[in-house]
Amino acid sequence: MNVIFSYVVSFFKSIFSALSSPLTYFIGLLTTSFNVALDEGIISDLSFMFSLLIIATLGDWASGAIKASYKKEYRSDKNRRTHPKMLIMFLVFFIFAISMVLSYNFNSGYFLFFKVVTWTYVSCAISNELYSMVENGEELGLPGAKRLKEMIDSLPSAIMKAMKGGK
């Protein structure tokens, strides 16, 4: 039994010694990148983006809860679909944010790419949440919500018309 145990211990020691160098390098790189990003104000930008996402998500959740209580249509199946979507939305944001922080030390082109991708992603996510709030407002019968939704829905055709040169 001791022989098997010693083999298992030596196996794990060899695994951990092989992983220790890359793991130490990665943790050092991450902490260095985070410190540089903190000094350069990148973390402030990411905090602002995260705050916008939180506010938009909470606003959408609140408008949906108000609509559900007003119409007395609480559906747990919708919540089961919504919560994983929100989790994925924030997970994708954190992946972009970490990529942005890590790329700052390597190449300004990569950093600029990840910054543009992160801002684009945050803008699309917030737009989606705001559109959902307008839909909830329309279903509640709020004044102006129906007209605003119609204007938003007509944007793609108006853009296509303008691109073709028509009025």
Band (121; pLDDT cuts 50, 70, 90): very high
Q: Are residues 82 and 92 in the same domain?
A: yes
d(CA 126, CA 138): 18
Q: How many domains does the chain have?
A: 2
Query: In the structure encoding, which two tokens stand for residue 76, read together?
Result: 């747990």
Residue 100: is its pLDDT beyond 60? yes
Instruction: Give the range among 15-19, 62-66, 143-147 with minimum mean pLDDT.
Output: 15-19
Here the tokens at position 10 are: 């030596």
Arithmetic mean of pLDDT, 113-127: 90
Mean pLDDT of 105-118: 82
Cβ neighbours for 114, distance < 8 A, ≥ 6 positions apart? 96, 99, 100, 103
Q: Which of 10-19, 52-61, 137-146 has the lowest mean pLDDT?
A: 10-19
**Are both 29 and 105 inside the same structural domain?**
no
How far from each other are the two terminal CA atoms of the chain, in whole angstroms? Answer: 85
pLDDT-wise least confident of 17-21, 86-90, 100-104? 17-21
- State which residues form the domain around 32: 1-40
Both 154 and 101 in a single domain?
Answer: yes
Same domain, 4 and 35: yes
pLDDT for the residue numbered 35: 67
The stretch 13-34 carries a mean pLDDT of: 62
User: Do 10 and 83 fall within a single domain?
Assistant: no
* pLDDT value of residue 28: 64
Closest CA to 90 of 41, 29, 46, 37: 46
In this structure, the answer to whether residues 47 and 33 fall within a common structural domain is no
The alpha carbon torsion through 38, 39, 42, 43 (nearest 10 deg) reads 20
pLDDT band at 70 (very low <50, low <70, confident <90, very high): confident
For the segment 87-97, the average pLDDT, to the nearest whole number, is 89
Q: Are residues 13 and 68 in the same domain?
A: no
- Is the distance from CB of 129 to CB of 57 less than 8 angstroms? yes
Lowest-confidence pick of 32-36, 71-75, 160-164: 32-36
Please state, in angstroms and rounded to a whole number, the distance separating the CA atoms of residues 72 and 163.
Answer: 44
CA dihedral 30, 32, 33, 36 (to 10 degrees): 160
pLDDT at 167 over 60: no
Interatomic CA distance for residues 93 and 56, integer angstroms:
14
Residue 66 · residue 136 · CB < 8 Å: yes
Residues 53 and 35 in one domain: no
